Amino acid sequence: DTFFIFYAVVSISFFLLWRYEIFALGLAIGLGIFAYGLTYFLVHDIFIHQRFKLFRNANNMYAKAVRRAHKMHHKHTGKEDGECFGMLVVPWKYFKK
- Cβ distance 84 to 73 under 8 Å? yes
pLDDT at 33 over 70: yes
Q: At what angle do helices 3-19 and 26-40 cross, to 10 degrees?
A: 150
Q: What is the largest CA-CA distance in the chain?
A: 52
What is the pTM for the complete model shown? 0.73
Amino acid 44: pLDDT: 85
Residues 6+ away with beta carbon under 8 Å from 76: 82, 83
**Domain regions of the chain by residue span:** 1-56, 58-97
pLDDT at 32 over 90: yes
Question: For 47-93, how does the pLDDT look when each residue is reduced to its tens digit (9 = 90+)?
Answer: 888 888 888 788 899 988 888 888 887 777 666 776 777 778 888 88
More confident: 12 or 70: 12
Amino acid 78: pLDDT: 67
Q: What is the 3-state secondary structure (H, E, C) of 41-84?
A: HHHHHHHHCCCCCCCCCCCCHHHHHHHHHHHHHCCCCCCCCCCC
